[in-house]
Structures are given as structure tokens and as C-alpha cells.
Amino acid sequence: MKSMKKCLVFGLVFFLALGILVACGNDDDPGAEPDVEENGDAEENGDEEEDVVENEFGGETIVLWIDQEGYGEALIDALNEQFPDSTFLLEVVGGSYTVDRLALDGPAGTEGAGDIILFPHDHIARASAQNLLLPLGPDFANTMHGRIPEDSIGTIVSGGNYLGVPLRRESLALFYNADLLAENDLALVSSWEELIEQAADFNDVANGDFLIRWHAGDAFHSHFILTAHGFQLFGPDHNDPDLVNFDTPEAIAGLEFLASLRDILPVAAEDLTWDTVHGAFVAGEVPYIITGPWSISDIRDNGDFEWGITTIPTINGVQPITFGGSHIAAISSHTNYPELARAVLAFMMSDEGLQIMYDHVGALPALMDVSMIDGVTEDPLLLGIEAQANHSHPMPIIPELSHFWASGPDMYTAVWEGLLSPQEAAEHAMAEFEASRALADN
């Protein structure tokens, strides 16, 4: 099985490396090497020579900005085997800082500027607006469709260009404490109607005991409530800047349901923090929370109870749709070696490349068939994330999303706190969205 996977990996890398070549810079002068960690050139091994993709690369230096050191080092070891005549350098750069740093280092040609960068999907609109990323071309696009889930692909397409490769897939989901449910003779819920019934028996307001906690007054964490009522942010394809849709009947119905949930979680939005939501779950104090895969490692390491992850409960029989997220690998538009950079990206999205990612990061691979990666189908926590991710839509990456974040969060908070009616909050958000958009246009 592994040998077959390896053959498929080599075929994918070779196909993409040949099929998407573009004119490159001065390849005869790789330039000075940046002051970053070098994991060494791979030594040639005659016994493994048949496993190395035949390529014309040699003398290039590719800098990778990766957010986790162990993953980066293992990836470079594999790249040294794949491309033994090229040099690969690693610098650990936090994903939240990558685009801002590339905006400075890329155009300036700073020593050590990343050729391959890894960052969260919600930064891609800003990177695209600044022309920081190299479009990948039709061969990459064709390879992704049918292999990578559409909600993940939607996070990397801007202006018709495919600007990166989704490697990790994310979504909010329902986390549950199985022991605490059993202690209270509660069954795992599948609907919010069931959850509301359980809360009536479980909640003890005086002692601060609540059946479920989440960041209820937050636009990201409560978006699913509106989608369950038919709300479509920026239209059905989530890319129409004229359809923010705050004031639609569907959005207002969702806000009305959100307001009703204050009865089962009578806590101010500002008091629903990481500590009082995630921390309370880790401490074994709350049966349910709504959070994402970023919470898994801490719960696994510090939670002393049986727990699991499943889809967010239905609302009126409708499965809520969450924002789909991903971590993206992309190529700097300022790289001197676009051909090799594309071949590296092809390897990172291959089964072997994603196996390295899973082994060292433990994240859900952005694949339609996760069984291609050893260990994932035996990981019930990631399968729980995948189950909800299959009911998600990509977070919009159009520039107008910034105006949503300038107006939408206050709408959710105002409704949760009872400061405005759902209708009033929606109308106010629409006015704020249009004002933010007009200001940006002037």
C-alpha cells in the first residue's frame, strides 16, 4: 500500500511540475541564503534512487515559512529526498503573522523571504489584494477538484485565481463530555429542541452550571444559527458583495432564535471567554461546548474524562451550516523559483505530504477521502470535525468581508444582550455595512 501511495505521490508531483511551468526569474543566481534554519542537503542513496522524481531542478534555494517546527523539519527531509539537487530552508513563522511579514519582505527582496508560506484562510483576501501570491494555474485547479472538499477549495479562490492549496480542514463542532452526560442520565442530543429540554433540568443558574456554553454573542461562533434559518452571507455562492443579507427574513428569524437561547445560557457575551467556555470544559464542568479543532490538544492532554465531537444539533430539523476554514500553503509572487515552488506545493498536497502533516500536526487533512492518510479514520475526534465540516460553507474571501466584520459582530452582540430587537439589530448592521463600504470606496 505504501509503495503504491509513493508512486501516486511521484506521479502527482511530476505531472504538476511539468504541466504548470511558468517563466522564472534568474535561476542561475540563487542569491544569498537567508539566516534561517537549514536542515541540510539530502544524501543520495542508491537503494532509493528509483523513488526520486526525475526533474531538472538543481541549484535553487526555497525558503519555507511553516508554523510548526516538527512538521517543517519532516517536510524538508522529504523534499531533500524528492529534489536532492535543491536546497530547502525552514523558518518557523506563526500563521497569523505570515501575510503581514510577506507584504514587507516579499516586495523588498529581503533575505530569507518565504517562497512557500502557510497561513489561515481568512488572510487570503488581504494577500490577494496586495498581489502577494502566485496564481497556480488550471492544472492545480483541475487536480484539486474531486480530491479536496469544495468548502476548502472555496477558501483559496479569489478573482477566479487559485492562490493556494488547502492542507488542513477546520470547522466548529459540538464537543461533549460523555462522563458528565452519563452522570446526569442525559443522552447525547441531536437537536437544539432536545438540548433546550435537557437544559431545563441541568441548569443551576445560582451555581453557574449550564448545559452548554459557546461564544454566543460572536458572529463567527453563532453564524450557524442564522444559516439554519436560511441566511446566506453574500448570497448562495458567498461571493456577491451586494448580498450581505443582514436584513432578510431568514437572518432575522435566526437572530430571534439566538435571542431565545439566552434563556438556557443567561451569561453576558463578554463573560463567555476562552476560560469560561473551553476552560470550563477541560475542567469537566460543562457537558457541551461549541468550538473547533484548536481545542482538541488541550482537552486531550488535560481533560480527565471521556469525551467526543459530533455535528452541531439540528434546529427545526435543519442541519446548521458553519463557516468552513482551512490552513493554506501558497507561493509568494516574489519567488525566484516558481517552477520548483509549484513542485513543492504539489508534494505538500499529495498523500505523502499530507501524511507528514497529519503525523506531526494531528490536523484533519483537506481531503474528500481521508482514508488515504493512515490514522485519520481511526481518530474519532477528527472524524467528528469532518462530519460538521461536511456541513459548512467557505468563509467568503471577497474584500467586502472586512465590512462584514465591521458590522456583523455588533449585530449578534446586541441581540444576545437584548440591546436591540432582531429587526433593529439587522437594520443597524445593514447601515453599518454600507457606511464601512462607502468609506472604503472614497
Per-residue pLDDT tens digits for 207-221? 999 999 999 999 999
- Average pLDDT over every residue of 306-312: 98
The domain 173-323+397-441 is classified under which CATH number: 3.40.190.10, 2.60.40.10, 1.20.120.920, 3.40.50.300? 3.40.190.10
Of all residues in the chain, the percent with pLDDT exceeding 70 is: 88
Of all residues in the chain, the percent with pLDDT exceeding 90 is: 79
What would the pLDDT profile of 14-54 be if each residue is shown by its tens digit?
A: 445 444 443 333 343 333 333 444 444 434 444 443 344 45
pLDDT band for position 55 (cuts 50, 70, 90): low
- pLDDT of 442 reads 78
Q: Which among 60, 5, 26 is positioned nearest to 343, based on CA atoms? A: 60
pTM, rounded to two decimals? 0.85
Q: What is the mean pLDDT of the chain?
A: 89
326 has a pLDDT exceeding 80: yes
- pLDDT of 23 reads 35
Which of 52-66, 183-197, 201-215, 375-389 has the lowest average pLDDT?
Answer: 52-66
407 has a pLDDT exceeding 80: yes
pLDDT band for position 122 (cuts 50, 70, 90): confident
The answer to whether 256 and 180 are in contact (CB under 8 A) is no
Please state which CATH number belongs to domain 2-170+325-394.
Answer: 3.40.190.10
What would the pLDDT profile of 150-197 be if each residue is shown by its tens digit?
A: 999 999 988 889 999 999 999 999 999 999 999 999 999 999 999 999
Other beta carbons within 10 angstroms of residue 413's beta carbon come to 20
pLDDT band for position 388 (cuts 50, 70, 90): very high
- Average pLDDT over every residue of 319-338: 96
Q: Which one has a higher pLDDT value, 160 or 246?
A: 246
Q: Is the dihedral of CA 404, 406, 412, 414 positive or negative?
A: negative
- pLDDT of 174 reads 98
81 has a pLDDT exceeding 50: yes
- pLDDT of 376 reads 97
296 has a pLDDT exceeding 70: yes
Q: Which one has a higher pLDDT value, 47 or 406?
A: 406
* Residue corresponding to grid cell 501524511: 355
Distance of CA 363 to the CA centre of its chain: 10
Q: Which among 262, 116, 245, 250 is positioned nearest to 196, based on CA atoms? A: 262
Q: Would you list the domain boundaries of the chain? A: 2-170+325-394, 173-323+397-441
